[in-house]
Structure formats: C-alpha cells, structure tokens
A and B are shown apart, each in its own frame.
Chain A
Amino acid sequence: MTIHQKPHTQDNLEDGKRQFSVVGKSVRRTDTFEKVTGLGKYSGDIELPGLLYGKMKRSDIAHALIKNIDVSKALALKGVKAVLTHRDVPRILHYGSPHPRSASCTRDQYILDDRVRYWGEGVAAVAAESEEIAEEALRLIHVEYEPLPAVFTVADALKPEAPLIHDNGLDKNNVMPPVVIRRGDVEKGFAEADLILENEYVLGRPVPGYMEPNVCACQWDGNGKLTIWSSTQTAFMVRGILAEVLGVPYNKVRVIVDHMGGGFGAKQDLFQHEFLCALLARQTGRPVRMEFTRKETFLGGRTRHSGKIRLKQGFKADGTITARHARIVLDGGAYGSHSPGVTTVGTSALTSLYRCENVDLEGRAIYTNTPIAGAFRGYGVVQTYFALDLQMDEAAERLGIDPAELRLRNAVRTGDLAPSDHPVVGHGLEACIRRGLDEVDWKAARAATAAQPGGVKRRGWGIGCEMHGSSAYPGIKEQGNAIVKMNEDGTVTLLTGTAGLGTGAHTALSQIVAEEIGIPFSAVQVVTGDTDIVPWDIGAFASHTTYMGGRAAQIAAAEVRRQVLEQAAPLLEAAPEKLAIREGIIHVEGANRSISLKEVVSPKRGMPAAQIVGVGTYSPTKSYSFAAHFAEVEVDTETGEVAVLQVVPVHDLGKVIHPIAAAGQIEGGIQQGIGHTLSEDYVIDLTNGRSLNPSFVDYKMPLSMDMPPIRTIILEAAPDPGGPFGAKGVGEDPIIAIGPAITNAIYDAIGIRFRHYPITPEQVLNALRAKQKEAA
C-alpha cells in the first residue's frame, strides 16, 4: 500500500492550512489488541448462567399458507423449554429495518406470519438446553402448508396473473412504488445526438458474506427490562423496533454491541431471530442465545438486488452526453427491506457522475418469492454505475475517443447538481482520474495492450469511476451525537453511539477528539455500543460514520476545549482566544507562558474538579467522495479464467483521518468487487425458489491468494466543509468502480463486451467461441 497525501488544495475550510498532530496518522487502532489476542467479545461469546440455545425452523417451500403447525412432539422432547409459532407472538406489522417511517423501507413484515413468502423464512422457534436438542426439536415440528403459486423472477412477478406476494401494494401488483426522475428534455437530447447507444445490463445476486453470522443473546431482569447483545449496525433502531413490538418503553430495552465481525449494510435490518430470541427469553425466564449457521446467513440474510437495467444514451461527436434514459428493475425478494431506498439511491445516481442535462430515469423494485434483498455496501449504485460506466467505454470506442478522456470531458464538477440535489463541492472526480492516468501511464499501458501479439493469455487495462454520498440525506434525516467528558487528570472519555463494524471508526473518532482538543491520541478513551450509556445514533451505514459521527465528536470536543480554556484563562492571565492547546499543554500565543491541561482541570485543595462535558450533535446534509479505479487483467483464452493483475484505486476523501484504515476499506471493497464481477453469485433454483449454494465452499468469494497488488492513492482534493477537518466517507465507494474497471479491461484484452456480472470462466469461453465462429 502506498498512500499519497496531498496538502489541501482549497482553503475554504477553517482548518485549511493547519498542521495536524493526530489526524492523518495511522495510530494503533483501539481494537487491535483485543482482536489479535481473542479477548474481544462478540455477541456469540456471551455466556450467561442458565443460557438456553435458540434455533429457528425455516420453511421448505417458497410460498404457502400455514394450515397447521404441530409442536407437541418438539415440546415433549427432554431439554426443550419453549416453542413459538405465529400463534404465540405479537402480530404487529413492522419495517424490519432501522429507519422506521423513512422513505427507505417498507412496512411489510411480521415476526412470524401464518404465510411464508420465501424458501427459508422462519416459521417457528425453539429454546432448549443445548444446540443439539434445539436442532432435534426443529425436526419434530410438523408444518402443514397449503402451497400458493410462486414467482421467482421479476418477469414472472410482473405478469398480470402473478400471485400477489403482499396485499399492501399500491396497485394490487408486486411492484413497489417506482422512483421517477426527469430533468430537461430527453427527446430533444436524443435528436441532437450523433451516436445513440442502448443496452441491457444484467446484475447478479451477490451476498455480503460477513465473517460473523447474525447472532444475539437476550436476558430479561426482574424489573421486566431486556438486555440484548446483538451483532447489529443500528443498536438504537433495534431498541426502538423491539420496544414497540414487545410493548415496553424504550428505557426497558438495552442493546449492547461490543465487537462486530462485519455487516456491510445488511445488518441494518432487524432479523426474525432478534424478536424471537427476546420472546423466548421472556417466556422461559432464562437467557437465550440464537446464532445463524453459515447457511442461515444465506437463507435468512440479505442479498444485493439483482436485476436488469436498460440504458440508452445520446452522445455528440465530441463526447458530450445529450440524453440519458434508463429503466431499472430490481428484484427485491420476498420483503421490501431496503428496496425503496436502494431503488432511489441507485436511480438518482444516474443523474450525475457524468454530466447530462436531459435525463429520464425510472427505477422499480419488484417482490418475488426469493430471499430478501436489502442494504449492501454500494446501495443500488454498484448496479447503476456498472451499466453507466460500461456504456461509457463502448461510447468512447464508437466515438474514437480514449475512454479515460471521454470520462474526463464529462466528469461531474464543482457546482453541478449532485444526485441529492446539492451542488457538488470540488473537482474530486477529475483529480482522481488525472492522478490515476499518471500513475499507470495510461496511454502507454493501453498502447501496449493494443499492440500485444495474439496468444493464449491476453492482457487489458480498464477504468471505472464513481461518486458516492457520505450520508443517506435526503432520503433519511440522519443524526450523530457524541459526548466528550474531561477527566480530572486531563484525559478524556468519548461516548459515541456509532457502531464498530470492524472498520476502525472508533479509532478515527478518537483521533478527531484528540486533534480538536490538542491532546495526544493516548489521552482519549472511547466508550461505545451500549444504548443505556452512549448518546443516540442512527447507526453505522451510508458511509457516514466518520463524516457524521466524527463531526459530532469534533463539535463535542471543541466545546470541551472552550470550557478548558475558559478555566485556564484566569490562571494564565490571558483571554481564552489567546490560548492554544498542544500536546496537552496550554500556551499563551505569542507569550512564553503555559500550563498543563491536567493542572487546569484537576481538583485543587478544597476545590473539586469542575464538570467539563461537551455534547456534539450533527445532522449532515450531503457530501460526495469520488474515485477512479484502474485495473489490469489477464484473460486465459483456453480456460476462460480472468486474473486481475493489479489495481490502482485513486480516491478523494477530502481529508484522511487514519490512512491505513482508509486504505483497508479500499482494499476490502476491491476484494468484494472482484468477487461480484468474476465469481460471486447466490443461485436460486428457479423452479422452487430454493437456495443452491448457501455455503462458502460453493459461493465463491475471492481469498487472499486471489488478490492482486493494489496501489492505493488517497487524495485530499475536495475537502467537505461539513466533515470533520474536511473528511468525507470511504466505506462504500471502493466497491463501485472496480466492477466496470475489470469488465472494461476484459474488453481491452479480448474484444468482448460483457454486460452482466459475474463474468464466469465458462461464459468467457462460450463468448470466445462464438466470436471465433463469427469471424470464420
């Protein structure tokens, strides 16, 4: 990894020219020691006296009414303490997702219903003395189904005679509310075009594949208060929905999330087991833990939306885009989950990245009887930018313009309207493309691939671009909060509600606090993951944790600094504005007087220490991060294998807080993106809706041996005035541009345009053969 930090190129920020002492340094992460020694506690590690083990019975039919469930045999099994079916749980319609009442989600789920809508949906739950007994009990539960006609593809779900999967649909069909965006005049735009391209892009169904399966443990105390340890990105949302559905006030639900083994967006949802575990614990009066098997993370987890995109664009001979028309159809699976949000964000993303005044975009998500599609890193944008950036490559070739040059000519610029309807800050995308072109010596690299002699292995270079918001605004009005407390020895404690998915966010927030106050990183301790203690937070998603939670922490820290300086002023006989804190020492600017922070805040004889607390609240609007990815591939024309030889990702993050953590996000995103593009696809049997590869042996994610060298370049080209020290998000960005970069590189290597993912070796072989035939 190489990180190239550039000084700020803009001084529109208050801190534009300041020297940093903690921010921008790869300090040791706060969670490293616990992780490498195994001391870190994950929800699956929770052991409690009298713990019972919960398991869920899942349907083995995709669409049916439950006529009857006979649990008598299961209840009679020794060691079984409780069995719950739809008859035993509150029947309350809920959002199943963290943003109740927001536009992102649909309210269409029950804890357990008398109807199943996908293969693998939970129909009953058991608590028993051991996991083995619980599993045995599941086998003893007999469910009688009345099968309903089912649909497993969007095409079938859209037929007039298709069965209705939910009865809350607007028009009595399986279509969720469409997203329609129209600007300018596309008719006119197409009429002015010298070249019109229209293609269909087909999107596979990858899954997030987090290491830690979904898991929670629940315990009720004598006062009717529930404590739940859960692997969730959205602790306060879990608290809210659980309280409402269980019928208890919010202060009687305590959610604890200590360490987490990933979520990638999917763990924003509330899953059936979280409700059922709480109910089983309440019924038995004993703590209960429920953990998914790996297979269950596929069946009952959340996938990326598969689907189809029809994209039509008009171009002038000089590359100007005159019109863009897109029809996006996404498979939402059996429940809405984040479909509305994903459709909105993915569709609106097509208004930007490459400038176009005339757009006509329509996105729809469709219910089918397949596993639920939900939130997943890249949130709809992975899909739409795949289509957009592939077509850009094709247009470049047809227009005789270098593909990178075509992107530069159209790249979104300062002041342009972003998908969120906000003006874009900074030429971030242009900076990324230009830097990457230099780094890979693009002209020479492409000339070399064009000149390569025929042979079995062929190389190619490709480019892909992206921009992504560092918050979910305006879809959701988010809020981050932080409390910073000064301790009487000059150290501080940061309380934050942001979840630690494993990204290193808590470290970044601590750095921000240390920087803002002027103390060493080691003087900050961070408290996280307990809804009874930390301030409210909307959750960790939408690439906003450092941007929003970090800004809240910065605001809180600034307040602490203000109070400290107020106390120091009389001691130093100087006005507070004349004071500065560096490395925990308060100096009078321009004078040779100083005092340690500790001395200022520690108790004096006969005088207690003052209470110094800062509270920071921040509701972001929108900022965008940018990236251009450059990938080199080698295609083996005899086996169809595509090897990614190297990737050069160039990202503009505004301001990098922790370079190694930021680069880690980028490398991880690229790894996931390589999987999406070349090997990962969750396959559903289209005759019955059953999952066919729900394991890590059969669902193939790239592993360390598959990873190419990655030369990460981080730019600070377009700092955002809303972010802490100008920082923007990086969580989702890296998974978006890599797919087009690889796919375009494959074209450069073998002259075949694939318009789908994943691109498997057998498809490469088939396409090569078809091309040979055509040539002959």
Chain B
Amino acid sequence: MRPFGFERPETLERAAGIVAAREDRAAPPPLSSAQFIAGGTNMADYMKLGVMRPNLLVDIGRLADPGLRRIAASPDGIRLGALVRMSEAEENADIRIGYPVIAESLQQAASQQIRNMASLGGNILQRTRCEYFRDISWACNKRDPGSGCAAMDGFNRQHAVLGVSDRCIATYHGDFAQALIALDASVETQSPRGGRTMAFSELHRLPGETPHVETQLMADELITLIDIPAKPWARRSHYLKIRDRQSYAFAVASVAVVLDLEDGAVRDVRIALGGLATVPWRAQEAEDELKGGPLDERTAGRAAEAAFAGAMPREHNAFKISLGRQALVRALLETRDMRV
C-alpha cells in the first residue's frame, strides 16, 4: 500500500469541508485524491490492490452525529443512518418484520465478519468486483478513464447483461441496493453546499461514455440517511440470491421483490435485479407486465421475458439471461406464497 494522510474529523461539516478544500474537489468521487472511509472493507481492500490511490483518507467512522448510527422506525417509514452497520440492520426487529427484503439482502451479503464492520452508506457505494478493474495491470475505463476495457473480450462470466455500454460492462455487486430500489427509498446527502434528497433509483449512473462517474454525488458529498417510506405491503417482500457458494460470494443473479396482492391479483409490485446489471436495476417492464393481473407461473414467466428483453450478453455470461429469468420467476412465486 502507498503512504497516505489520515484525518478523523468529528463533525460532518468538517469532513465534507476537508474534501471541499482540495484542489481536485470537482473530480468524480472515485478519482478524487481525498476519500471518505467508513467501515473500510471496500476502501482498504482496494487501496491494497492499488485500485484506489488516495493521498488522504477522511475517516467518517467516528463522526459525532448520532443520527448517522440510528435506525428510526415510525409510521412514516424507516430511516437508516449511513453509519449503521450491515449486521445491525439485518438484526433489527422492525426491519425483519416490516421490510424482510432488507434483512434478507443483508444476511446473504459478504460474510459475518465483513457485515460487522461495513456501513450501509459504504455498502451502497461499494465499487464493482470486475476482475479486470481489481487488477491494475489490466486496461479498465472505470479505473483509468480511456484506457480500454479488458472485460469486453475477456472472461466475463460475472459481468452485466443489463445497462451495459461499449465502455464498461461491470456488474454492480451490492445486494442491499436492490432492496432499496424495490422499496422506493431515497437518500439524503450533505455537502458544504447544503443537503439534498434524491430517489435512490437516481443515485447510480449508467456507465455510458463515462464509467468512472458512478453516482450523482460530488467528491465532498456525504450520504447521511437512507429513507424508506412506509409501505404496509412491504411485509410481503423477499430477496432471492443465487451465488457460487453460500457465503463470501457476490450474486450471480439476484432479485428483490415487493408485492401488493389483493385477492390474488397484483395491485402493485416493485422488482429490482442484482448481479445482472451495471447499476441497481429496476425491472419496470416486468412490473408493468404483472400489474392488475394474477400472479402465476405463466404471468411470472412473461414478466421475466420482459425484464430481459434488452439484455446484451457477452461471450461467457449469456447464461445469466436464462438464470435471471428463472430467478425472477422463482422470486415472484416465493413472494406470492409468503405468509404475512
């Protein structure tokens, strides 16, 4: 690892201010020379690999603001501080009962040790696990803009089939984000320019021409809160994850479903796909296919077709389309059959 400076501010303002005072404050966050670090499970890993090379780390793990560490449930919904640990959230009773999709997405992520360290804010912003991105000797547009993409014609079994561009096909690998998409969550942020709120589904950006620009955030902007609106029907929600082994493995395909059923018919539904797309992916075409009708193997199958209509496979990941469809069908039927 290369030498770097380390700051541990006590207030949010100061943390954001340190980054705002840097010359390259306008750089897209991943390329900024100053980086926030929370649990460090992603940042420290990528610094060791030389993927992240900040000169300065700003540790937000000890910020004094108690709201950052709170899980606050109310009739309006549930608010999760950005520094809440993954393991805290997955064990929280309000979440388990009211929003099972969140608990399930967290339980199946990473390993217990990592979940004990990792924060929810850091989880949302974790960077891709693309093998070529993680090994600095390969060409990678996301890591080194304009250098090319070794994955395009490489071993791309893990790569995305949805939301890809001709610059980058890296999968967004987090699990929690799919639950947030399916729950219509929003995020609150703070920077020296003040606070703002945005729909979670707008936080991440498609790779397009600029795969190194991953979110709408600025380098000096911190996520402070995740806001999940009350949704009585969120009790009928579920996360299905298919992976190569039972722990310590990212999704090959995953599905988050939140389902509102009335007399066997779908009144409303939210579907998000993981492990298959470059960003946390809302499968709106599939939702539209289902709304107002019955949910059975046939309609679920039709929804699955719709979800992958625009899929663009490469040499090694074509199986993800059929696997994704099967996973979606199964997740829908399992959610339908939940006893709530």
- Could you tell me which A residues sit within 8 Å of B by CB distance? 60, 132, 295, 638-641, 679, 683, 685, 692-695, 697-698, 700-706, 761-762, 765-766, 769
Contacts and interface: CB of A to CB of B under 8 A. Distances in A.
Contacts of A702: 245
Given A638-B330, A692-B154, A679 B323 contact: no
Contacts of B249: 700
B11 interface: no
Given A693-B131, A698-B131, A700-B244, 9 more contacts: A641-B242, A679-B245, A692-B154, A698-B158, A700-B245, A700-B249, A706-B247, A761-B242, A765-B322
A706 B155 contact: no
B319 interface: yes
Nearest to A687: B153
Contacts of B2: 132
Interface string B238-253: 0000101111110010
Contacts of A693: 131, 155
30 contacts: A60-B137, A132-B2, A295-B135, A639-B323, A639-B326, A679-B244, A683-B155, A685-B154, A692-B154, A692-B155, A693-B131, A693-B155, A694-B135, A698-B131, A698-B158, A700-B244, A700-B245, A700-B249, A701-B245, A702-B245, A703-B245, A704-B247, A705-B245, A705-B246, A706-B245, A761-B242, A761-B244, A761-B323, A762-B157, A766-B319
Interface string B136-159: 010000000000000000110110
Nearest to B249: A700
Interface of B: 1-3, 129, 131, 134-135, 137, 154-155, 157-158, 242, 244-249, 252, 319, 322-323, 326-327, 329-330
B249 to A, nearest CB: 7
**Main SS at interface, chain B:** loop
Contacts of A692: 131, 154-155
Nearest to B155: A692
| Most interface-central of A638, A701, A769 (chain B CB within 10 A) | A638
Nearest to B1: A132
A649 B273 CA distance: 40
A60 B138 CA distance: 11
A280 B196 CA distance: 57
Contacts of B252: 761
Nearest to B327: A639
Q: Which 4 A-B pairs have the closest CB atoms?
A: A705-B246, A762-B319, A638-B326, A705-B247
A685 B132 CA distance: 12
A640 B327 CA distance: 11
A37 B197 CA distance: 49
Contacts of B248: 697, 703
Contacts of B329: 638
A640 B323 CA distance: 8
Contacts of B131: 692-693, 695, 698
A689 to B, nearest CB: 13
A639 B242 contact: yes
A705 B157 CA distance: 23
Contacts of B137: 60
A132 B47 CA distance: 12
B321 to A, nearest CB: 11
B323 A762 contact: yes
A315 B314 CA distance: 45
A703 B246 contact: yes
Contacts of B245: 679, 700-703, 705-706
A562 B248 CA distance: 56
Nearest to B330: A638
A535 to B, nearest CB: 42
A457 to B, nearest CB: 11
A696 to B, nearest CB: 8
Contacts of B155: 683, 685, 692-693
A639 B251 CA distance: 12
A639 B242 CA distance: 8
Contact of A697 (B129, B157, B327): B129
- Which of B129, B319, B327 neighbours the largest number of chain A CB atoms within 10 Å of its CB? B319
A757 to B, nearest CB: 15
Contacts of A706: 245-247
B61 to A, nearest CB: 24
A399 to B, nearest CB: 35
A237 to B, nearest CB: 33
A765 B322 CA distance: 9
Contacts of A704: 247
Nearest to A700: B244
Contacts of A685: 154-155
Nearest to A760: B244
B247 A703 contact: yes
Contacts of A695: 131, 134
A765 B1 CA distance: 42
A766 B322 CA distance: 10
Nearest to A691: B135
Given A639-B242, A703-B246, A765 B330 contact: no
A685 B137 CA distance: 14
A60 B326 CA distance: 41
A685 B326 CA distance: 30
Contacts of B323: 639-640, 761-762, 765
A524 B154 CA distance: 57
Most buried by B among A60, A641, A694: A641
Nearest to A694: B135
Nearest to A704: B247
Given A60-B137, A638-B326, A765 B319 contact: yes
Contacts of B1: 132
A703 B300 CA distance: 33
A377 B137 CA distance: 32
B304 to A, nearest CB: 11
